[in-house]
Chains A and B, each alone.
Chain A
Amino acid sequence: MHAGLLTALGILFLAVMLFPIYWMVNASLQPSGNTLTAGFFPTNPSFDGYATAVSQQGKNLVTSLLVSTGTVLLTLAIAAPASYALAQFKFRWINAALLVILIAQMIPGIVIANALYAAYNDLGLLNSIPGLILADSTHSVPFAILILRAFMIGIPPSLVEAARVDGAGLIRAFLSIVIPISRNSLITAGLFSFLFSWSDFLFALTLTTTQAVRPVTLGIYQYLGSEISNWSAVMATAVLSSLPAIVLLLIAQKYIAAGATGGAVK
Chain B
Amino acid sequence: MPNMQRINRESTPPVSAPRNTLSARPRFSRENVTKALFVVPAAVFTVLFFGYPVVKNITMSLQDYTTKTFFTGEAPWVGIKNYATIFGSNLFTPALLNTALFTLGSIAGQFVIGLALATFFKRRFPLSNFLRSMLLLPWLLPLIVGSATWRSILDQDSGILNRSLEGLGVIHDPIPWLTSPAVALSAVILVNIWVGIPFNVTIIYGGLQDIPEELYEAAALDGATGWKAFRNITWPNLRPVVSVVLVLGVVYTLKVLDIILGLTNGGPANATQTLAVRSYQESFINFQFGSGAAYSNVLILISLIFAIIYLRANRRAVDE
Contacts and interface: CB of A to CB of B under 8 A. Distances in A.
Contacts of A135: 49
Contact of A20 (B50, B194, B206): B194
Contact of A108 (B42, B143, B299): B299
Given A82-B41, A117-B284, A242-B142, A249 B251 contact: no
Contact of B160 (A38, A78, A145, A206): A38
A100 interface: yes
B119 to A, nearest CB: 12
Interface in A163-207: 169-171, 174, 192, 195-196, 198-202, 205-206
Contacts of A156: 16
Interface residues of B, number: 101
Contact of B133 (A90, A234, A249): A249
B219 to A, nearest CB: 19
A161 B18 CA distance: 11
B38 A114 contact: no
Contact of A261 (B206, B284, B310): B206
A201 B150 CA distance: 17
A109 interface: yes
A62 interface: no
B49 A134 contact: yes
B285 to A, nearest CB: 11
A152 to B, nearest CB: 10
Contacts, number: 319
A129 interface: no
Contacts of B148: 24, 220, 223-224, 234-235, 237-238
B90 interface: no
A27 interface: yes
Contacts of A90: 15, 18, 20
B289 to A, nearest CB: 6
Nearest to A103: B307
Nearest to A244: B140
B307 A265 contact: no
Contacts of B133: 249, 253, 256-257
Given A21-B141, A154-B13, A36 B155 contact: yes
B149 A116 contact: no
Interface stretch (B77-85, B102-110, B124-132, B232-240): B124-132
B121 interface: yes
Interface residues of A, number: 115
Contacts of A263: 4-6, 8
Given A137-B49, A223-B148, A224-B262, A170 B35 contact: yes
A31 interface: no
B123 A6 contact: yes
Interface string B277-320: 00110011000010011001001100100010011001000100
Nearest to A64: B142
A220 B296 CA distance: 26
A260 B142 contact: no
B303 to A, nearest CB: 6
Contacts of B149: 20-21, 23-24, 27, 235, 238
Interface in A1-36: 1, 3-4, 6-7, 9-11, 13-14, 17-18, 20-21, 23-24, 27, 35-36
A212 to B, nearest CB: 18
Contact of A138 (B10, B50, B151, B152): B50
25 contacts: A7-B131, A10-B127, A14-B135, A20-B150, A23-B152, A36-B160, A78-B42, A111-B57, A111-B279, A114-B279, A115-B56, A115-B60, A116-B49, A117-B289, A118-B65, A118-B69, A118-B70, A195-B140, A201-B258, A206-B284, A220-B145, A245-B137, A245-B140, A261-B202, A263-B4
Q: What 4 A-B pairs have minimum CB-CB distances, sorted nearest first?
A: A264-B8, A82-B42, A115-B53, A108-B255
Given A13-B135, A265-B5, 18 more contacts: A7-B125, A10-B132, A24-B148, A27-B149, A36-B159, A78-B41, A101-B46, A102-B311, A108-B254, A110-B276, A114-B60, A114-B283, A141-B49, A221-B144, A241-B145, A256-B136, A257-B133, A259-B6
